[in-house]
Amino acid sequence: MYAEHLYLNLQMQTNKNQAATIGAHTIDPLHWVTNYADYLYSYVITRINDKELARDLVQETFLAALERVEKFEGRSSERTWLTAILKNKVIDVYRKKSTGHSIETEVQTDSNDQEAFFDAKDGHWNTEHQPEVFGLEEYDTLIRKEFNHILQKCMQKLPPLWLSVFSMKHMDDEETETICKELKITASNFWVIIHRAKVNLRSCLQINWT
């Protein structure tokens, strides 16, 4: 149903025979839903974990691409081009979610929990909270799928700003400078957030992954 809705929506915006030839590349919007909808949805749902919003962003991506179809230069594949548009929309979501969240407030709120992980004298892990092996050394599709499901749940427990920073850094491989610019944080705040996000995720995974 979702794919059909996307296709009908896109078809309403597109002439039936509309297909642009850019250099040696032919780009046909009417094939986008069939060829790329599932991939784009998978891309976005792992980053925002909101099914309704994910569907909306995929639809917005197709419509935005349709408006820019004449600007497609053929330097990359259609999928790469569409993913880049979607990626910018995801960053917009990160920015909106993190707006108004103070790094100082979020760090202070979580400081008591953090103190339990490390020795106040030398900064090393306390014995009861030392990192444990997660048992993913051998590849097993089902185990990794379950692990990723738990990881997603743990990520959603992070404060909005932390989740945005962590996702942009470790899922989208964005440069630190880009993340700081987009989310309006300093480089020092960035490293504080990354460190604390990792500690929180490690703790959550150790509690929920057995």
Residue 52 has a pLDDT of 93
**What are the chain's domains?**
2-98 (1.10.1740), 103-208 (1.10.10.10)
Q: What is the mean pLDDT of the chain?
A: 77
Mean pLDDT, range 60-76, rounded to an integer? 86
Tell me the sheet residues that pair with 20.
27
Mean pLDDT, range 71-83, rounded to an integer? 86
Percent residues over pLDDT 70 in the chain: 68
Q: What is the pTM of this model?
A: 0.70
Report the distance separating Cα 106 and Cα 97, nearest Å.
14
CB-based contact 80:157 (threshold 8 Å): no
Residues 110-140 have pLDDT tens digits of 544 555 555 555 545 566 655 555 555 555 6
Lowest mean pLDDT among 115-124, 149-158, 186-195: 115-124
CA distances from 177 to 104, 153, 169, 198, 200 (A): 20, 28, 10, 19, 23
Lowest mean pLDDT among 71-75, 126-130, 186-190: 126-130
Report the distance separating Cα 8 and Cα 11, nearest Å.
5
Mean pLDDT, range 76-97, rounded to an integer? 91
